[in-house]
Every structure is written in structure tokens, then in C-alpha cells.
Structure 1
Amino acid sequence: MAKIQDLLSEVLLAGDEVASGATVKPSANFNADNDAVMLIRAVETKGIDEHTIIDILTQRSNAQRQDIAFAFEKRAKKKLEDVLNGALKDPLKAVILGLMKTPAMYDAVEMKKAVKGLGTNEATLIEILCSRSNKEIEEMNKAYQEVNKKNMVNDINDDTSGDFSKLLCALAKGTRPEPSNVEDHELIDSDAKVLNEATKQKKGMDTAKWISILTERNIPHLRKVFQRYNVYSPRSINESIKDDISKDLRCNLLALVQCIQSTPEFFADKLSPIAKNDLKRDVLTRIMVSRCEIDLIPIRKEFKKKTGKSLYQCIKAATKDDYERVLLALCGGDD
């Protein structure tokens, strides 16, 4: 069990600050075998005991859920994920099955859904790739290869085109430099100047330079670049993108810049339509599942700032039944 927890902890963005932002944390009195027994009873109950399934799986960390799955299969001779898939109905099923996957596997599945079939879900691709660390992207690539027997970067390249494809492929490689203790003031100034000059090209904005800098610099460095940008331009970095970037890349670069500036604010924006009961269910499910063990508390705070409403109350108003119950459990409280 400890080995699984160690591996998963490496995938998180790291540190006490991240852990303190989680709404779902490891259960202190955890016993995988006891949980497995309770889940066996829950799925064998006439009509299925959804409440027990929700109460157990939303109060355990992902590492603990993997141990429960192992204990369940040992006892029941069936895979827990397969049993839950057959026993539950959407939208509850989508949340529970998402919780049962490792973070890397969940991201890999969501990425595959976004690139397969007719039309690409650009918003999903950019959401995941903008907000994951190098380690998370590395693990996602491995999981994608394992499940699909294909290279994720190649699939993205085949399914997208132009500058958007270049941006996604650069992010999907997960090669952004890690933060450094040394602040390179000359490079900060140079990058800010290059970004500004790239907006003044007669033939249109030099998007290649923007993509290069935004994907090949570490996050703290880029935050300083965005601040320095105002020395060379009367407009903010966001205003320049809105004014000068072509429509097909504009929203994606804005999402990337916002995620670099503040990941919780980025996700609060993604969730904000729920305040008007106008949020797609798959987006709500994915964010709640993928962020509950990372930074859902700061996301909740940013959501309250933006909408004047609590995420908890908005979920209550926009959902119902077991889907409401599971999302409120992941939300972790009212603000």
C-alpha cells in the first residue's frame, strides 16, 4: 500500500500547500479489506446501495481506492471497476469510475475521448495539458500508450492542425523546465520584449515565438515575464492575445496564460457557468474528479470571488439525486 501511495504522491503538483487544498484526503482509519467487504454487500444488495458506494469511495484517497480494488478482486474474483460499471448508471457512474482510475489513467482516457471520433474537443485538450505538471504529463503519456497502444503526442498531431497543434504537442511532451532558485532577469526582460515585438509584425502576430516562450519556460519565470510585459506594452498580456491572436488560437493561449498565472482561477472560470445552471456535465465531472485531491479548496474560493455564490450551493441547485450526493462529497463543504 505504501508503495502505491508514494507513487501517486509524486504525481501531485507537490508539497504541503497542494495537500492543504485537497477536499479528499486519505482516511486515517483505513482498512482496505473492510471497505471491500462493504462494497461487495453494496453491489449485491437488491437495487444497489449507491449511498454506501459513494460514502466509501469519496472518503478515501486515490491510493487507498487502488488498495480497495485489489482487496475487492481478491475476495469477489471480479474487478471492482467492472462490477461498478455494470451496477451503476450515469451520471453517477462517470464520477465513480473516474475516482477508481489513477490520475494518470483518468487523464489518458479523457484525452483519448477528446481526440477520437468526429471533431476534436479542443477545450478538454487544452484544459488537461495546460494544468498538469511535467510528472503528471509523463505518467499520462505512459497510461495513454498502455491503454491505446498509441503515442499520445502523435494522436494529437494527427487530429489537430496549425498553430493549435504545435501548442498542444509542445505541452504534451511535458518538457517544460522545472522551477529554478535562480531568477534570470535578463531572460525575463528579453522574453517580455520578444513577446511584445511578436505582436507588431505586419503579416500578423508571430505566434511561433509566443508558443515557444509559453511552453519552453518554467512557470515562475513566465509569471515574471507577464509582469515585465507591461514595461513594453500599454496592454496586458491577456489584452494583447485578445487583440492580436487569430480566433482559432486565441482562446487556447488565453487559457494557457490564465493557468500559468493561477490554476485555481483557471478552473473556477471553467466552473463558473454552473452559477447560471449552464455547465456541461462532463466538464463538471472531470474537474471535480481530477482536482479534489489537489486544489479544490482554492478553486472553491476563486469560484466564490467570481460568481458571488458557493460552488457547493451551485452544485445543489444544478444537480440531483446520487450525482448531487457524490459531487457534494467531493466538494468537501460550503463557503
Structure 2
Amino acid sequence: MLQASRGTVKASGNFNASADADSLYKAMKGLGTDEDAIMKLLTARSNAQRQQIKAAYKTLFGKDLIDDLKGELGGKFETLIVALMTAPIIYDVTSLRNAIKGAGTDEKVLVEILASRTPQQVKDIIAAYRQEYDQDLEEDICGDTSGHFKRLLVILLQANRQNRIQEGEIQSDAEVLFKAGEQKFGTEEQSFVTILGNRSAEHLRKVFDAYMKLSGYEMEESIKRETSGGLRDLLLAVVKCARSVPAYFAETLYYAMKGAGTDDNTLIRVMASRCEVDMLDIRAQFRRMFACSLYSMIKGDTSGDYQKALLLLCGGDDA
């Protein structure tokens, strides 16, 4: 099955970019803004179609659609709509740029994007980053991070993961990890960084099984015990994405909404970037992993137009 068909947002069948641009213009023209019309239209179009609407809007009205939307909308709803209007690769690039520029580094964004994207997507991100900012993403990340955390990010940025299972190395990889962690006083992080950063997801899943037999622990448990800070988060993300990218994002969404206060930046980033990719799988995993549906958690945790738009992207309740 094509991965693209696992999204909740699909291309509109009888699509007319100029007609849509006109509808959006009317929704923003005059007194008051028809947020409902904007939301329903944009969540019912694919990102590629939204890019065509943006071009048609400029041609028809001589104005930038994103600027107009920013002028009419506000708050989290505005942030979500602007995210939906941004091409996926540019959205990733902008998110990474914002994570490393300014005071402090948003390690969560670096971890989430670089651990979950395919090697080809990482290569595309690097090229788009250079085009957009005339700078080298690896250099920018290196200037902002340190230690084994930086080393693993650099390995992921090489996008050279082996794309196959190497039967002969499964057992030896598991043994190296066991010796570097559970069997050793103190941890040899470099072994974790090298193996988890360079092997394919299929290969790693077999290594995790072999590791479990050797040590009696799941790989995640050992990482939690043996490492800390940014490195721990990144290693865990790599392991979880090797097991299942949708499960990784289901967990990311759950913790973005659980407890006091919502991590809206993460909620928006994941919903906007996965709604055309694997949101149906994320929803199914969410229902399996937690005692509620993604839909019901969004409903209980958000409000207003922002909530309505998120629920449209979610695409249904699995109660």
C-alpha cells in the first residue's frame, strides 16, 4: 500500500485553484472573517493543491495569501493554518532553523524531525536549507549542540543508513550494545550512537530482539537507564521510529497534550506534517497505546477554531 494513502487529508477531486482563491478572498474581505469557511476549505485540500491556491491568489488579487491569512487570523489557529499553507519540506526546514537560531536550542524539534524522516527526506531537507538560508544545516546544528548528542545528529544528517538487513551483524550488534551498556560500569555511548545511527530500521528491529534475549531488557529500558538528557531523547526517538514511526508520533501527540498545559507547538507540528502521510496509522496506534482516541484527547485539550481545525485534520474518532 502506498504510504501517502494513509493520510486523513487527501487531494480534492474537482479542484479549481482560482475558485478556491476567490472563496478565501471573500472569506477575509470586509468586516469580520469567516474562519469556518477558511478552515473547511484548506483542510479539504492537499498541500500541493494549497500551493496552487496560493499562486492563483497572487495572480488574481496581487497579494500574498499567507500574509492575508496572518492579518485576519490569530493565535494558535493562525499558526496551524500557516503550517498547512507551507510546503512540507520548507516547513521542516523552517522548524529546524527556528530550533537552532535564537537563545537556546529546541532539542525536541531536532530529535523529532531528524529521527523520523527517511534518508531521502533528510537529503532533501539539507538541500532546501542551503537554498533557503545559504547555510549548511550540519554546521548550524554542530555550532548549537555538543557531545554524543551532536555526534548522533551528524550521523543522521549523513543520511547513509544501510537500507537492508545484514544477517551476519545482527548478533554482533546486539552484543556490542550489551557490552557497551548493561554489562559495563558506566556506559560507552559511542557504540549506541554508531549502531543506532547507521543501521536500517528493519535491521535494528532484529537487533532489538537479539538484545532482549541477551540482556532481558528492551532496548528502550536500557537507554533510559544508561543515558540522559538530549542524547537519551534522541536515542529513544531513533529506537521508537525504527520500531514504528506512527507509534512514535502517537506517543509524541499524547505527551504534548497530557498533564497541565498543552505543548501546542508540537501538537501543530505533528498534525500539520503527518495529516497527509500516516495520520490513520497514528490514530490507530494512539487508540492501541492509550485509554482514549486521539480525537477525544484533542477535543478535551483544545478549543475554538483551533480545535475544529485539528479535529478535521484528525479525520474521525476511534472511540
The answer for the alignment partner of 2:62 in structure 1 is 77
**Aligned equivalent of 1:314, options 270, 280, 297:** 297
Distance in 2 between residues matched to 1:158 and 1:27, nearest whole Å: 43
The answer for the alignment partner of 2:180 in structure 1 is 198
CA contact (8 A) 1:275 1:307 kept: no
**Equivalent runs, 1:1-335 vs 2, <5 Å:** 16=2, 18-178=3-163, 180=164, 183-199=165-181, 204-273=186-255, 274-276=257-259, 278-335=261-318
Report the AA paired with residue 221 of structure 2: E
Distance in 2 between residues matched to 1:231 and 1:314, nearest whole Å: 36
Deviations 1:202-235 (A, max 9, x none): 5622211211111111111111111111232222
Distance in 2 between residues matched to 1:201 and 1:165, nearest whole Å: 25
CA contact (8 A) 2:182 2:215 kept: no
Deviations 1:274-311 (A, max 9, x none): 25464311111111001101111111122222321111
Q: TM (normalized to structure 2)?
A: 0.94
Deviations 1:26-80 (A, max 9, x none): 1111111111111111121421221111111100111111111111111111121
CA shift in 2, pair 1:288/1:279, >3 Å: same
CA shift in 2, pair 1:249/1:119, >3 Å: same
Distance in 2 between residues matched to 1:79 and 1:36, nearest whole Å: 11
State the shift of 1:271 in Å: 1.4
CA contact (8 A) 1:271 1:279 kept: no
Distance in 2 between residues matched to 1:241 and 1:131, nearest whole Å: 18
Show structure 2 runs of 5+ residues with no match. none
Instruction: State percent identity of aligned pairs.
Output: 41
CA contact (8 A) 2:100 2:140 kept: yes
Show structure 1 runs of 5+ residues with no match. 1-14
Distance in 2 between residues matched to 1:100 and 1:321, nearest whole Å: 20
Distance in 1 between residues matched to 2:312 and 2:229, nearest whole Å: 38
Of the structure 1 ranges 146-155 and 244-253, higher mean CA displacement relative to structure 2 is found in 244-253
Q: What SS does the corresponding residue of 1:308 show, helix, strand or coil?
A: coil
State the shift of 1:329 in Å: 0.8
State the shift of 1:174 in Å: 2.2
Q: TM (normalized to structure 1)?
A: 0.90
CA contact (8 A) 1:163 1:208 kept: yes
The answer for the alignment partner of 1:9 in structure 2 is none
State the shift of 1:109 in Å: 0.8
Distance in 2 between residues matched to 1:90 and 1:134, nearest whole Å: 34
CA shift in 2, pair 1:247/1:66, >3 Å: closer
RMSD over equivalenced CA pairs, Å: 1.7
Distance in 1 between residues matched to 2:300 and 2:214, nearest whole Å: 46
Distance in 1 between residues matched to 2:280 and 2:287, nearest whole Å: 11
